[in-house]
Amino acid sequence: MFNYLIILIIYLLSANVQGAEVRNEPIKPLPLHQPDLNLKLVDLGDRLFHDPRLSQDNSISCASCHVLSSGGTDRLPVSVGVGGAKGGIKAPTVYNSSFNFVQFWDGRVDTLEDQAAGPVHNPLEMNSNWTEVIGKLQNDQEIVVSFRSLFDDGITPENIVAAIAEFEKSLVTANSRFDRWLLGDDSALTDFELIGYRLFKSYGCISCHQGANVGGNLYAYMGAMGDYFKDRKSVVTTADFGRFNVTGKEDDKHFFKVPSLRLAAINSPYFHDASVQTLSEAVLVMGRYQLGREISASDVDAIVAFISSLLGEHHRLKP
Ligand code: HEC
Ligand code: HEC
């Protein structure tokens, strides 16, 4: 009997703690701690992420296009790779990318490990290959030793991408004011930001931008309520086809992975085509083309204030 009572009390206490922990909202806080990360692997991945030897002429590292201090992007309409080559789509942030259900705008790879091989081989990005990269790394005694201390088979393509992916998993911008509010701190948000969040839900933005990354967990059509690509007036490019480029299905044309809004406050320009410069304009365009609503200027301001409260912290990020 006494035992049952103890179990009941423990159950009630834990239920209570869990209940008090996170507000029941469609957006979830990013984890403050990641006890499962292998810190030695993170450190190696950090060095590789910043290593221009991953590119053909030793001029470009991952960090050239994903600048960690300023939001994990290059803030350019299209990225510039080896020899000044221009890509066809805007670089998304690498922060919180481990919370995306797939990688790239069109979701052509599932994991960060598979993703990392892409830019190394892309002629418009690093324009190299594993034989070339590994040849260069093998000449660096320090990096050879680091790989040996973590992997029996030393420097291999699999081990390089494992390290980079582990580093990317450490790029989490937790402890935003919005997350603190989610965790029960009523004073973390201003009234205006809270109004913005309510509008974000009532307009229906939340149906696409949700979860821990406030996006990154589904595909959506760009222009559900209006012909975005016709109105944009510039030529429709292959990149504009989005998910269609992966599946070849007509129904997937202009579908994109819904981008995360976690760092949207500091990552202009917006959209896969970088067609919009300011966050206010991006909110207006979303209202018009995704929801068929003309959002008033004051509502736009409140939604922008809410989106700004999603910006969390990371020691590399200096916004
Ligand atoms: C020349 C610039 C450039 C370089 C160098 C580069 N990237 Fe990217 N990165 C991009 C662009 C552009 C995209 C979007 C491409 C797309 O979606 O088709 C992207 C997408 C990504 C994504 C997907 C994020 C998301 O939300 O879908 C990750 C993760 C990423 N890069 C990591 C890396 C890593 C790791 C390296 C180094 C091995 C690297 N990038 C090198 C420009 C670059
Ligand atoms: C039907 C799904 C859907 C709805 C509803 C929706 N969005 Fe989006 N959102 C997207 C997609 C898809 C993109 C990427 C479009 C592109 O790049 O062409 C996007 C992009 C954005 C961006 C740009 C992010 C970046 O990094 O480029 C912002 C900001 C944004 N949405 C805010 C909002 C707001 C605010 C609302 C409500 C007014 C909203 N969205 C409603 C699907 C949606």
In whole angstroms, what is the distance from residue 294 CA to residue 116 CA? 40
Residue 18, pLDDT score: 43
User: pLDDT tens across 232-281, in order?
Assistant: 989 999 999 999 999 999 999 999 999 999 999 999 999 999 999 999 99
Nearest CA to ligand 1 atom 43: 65
Residue 214, pLDDT score: 98
Low-confidence ranges of the chain (pLDDT < 70): 1-20
The CA-atom distances, in angstroms, between 31 and each of 180, 182, 195, 270 are 11, 12, 25, 26
User: pLDDT tens across 205-241, in order?
Assistant: 999 999 999 999 999 999 999 999 999 989 999 999 9
**What percentage of the chain reaches a pLDDT higher than 90?**
92
Q: Is the distance from the beta carbon of residue 203 to the nearest atom of ligand 2 less than 6 Å?
A: yes
Burial category of 132 from C-beta neighbours within 10 Å (exposed 0-12, middle 13-18, buried 19 and up): middle
Residue 6, pLDDT score: 54
Q: Which of 102, 125, 167, 172 to mutate to test the pocket of ligand 1 (most atoms within 8 A of CB)?
A: 125
Q: Which residues line ligand 1 (CB under 6 A)?
A: 49, 54, 60, 62, 64-66, 79, 81, 87, 89, 91-92, 94, 97, 100, 103-105, 112, 115-116, 119-120, 125-126, 164, 168
Distance between start and end Cα atoms, the chain? 58
The CA-atom distances, in angstroms, between 12 and each of 3, 15, 118, 183 are 14, 5, 50, 20
Amino acid at 230: K
Nearest CA to ligand 2 atom 32: 283
Q: Is the distance from the beta carbon of residue 213 to the nearest atom of ligand 2 less than 6 Å?
A: no
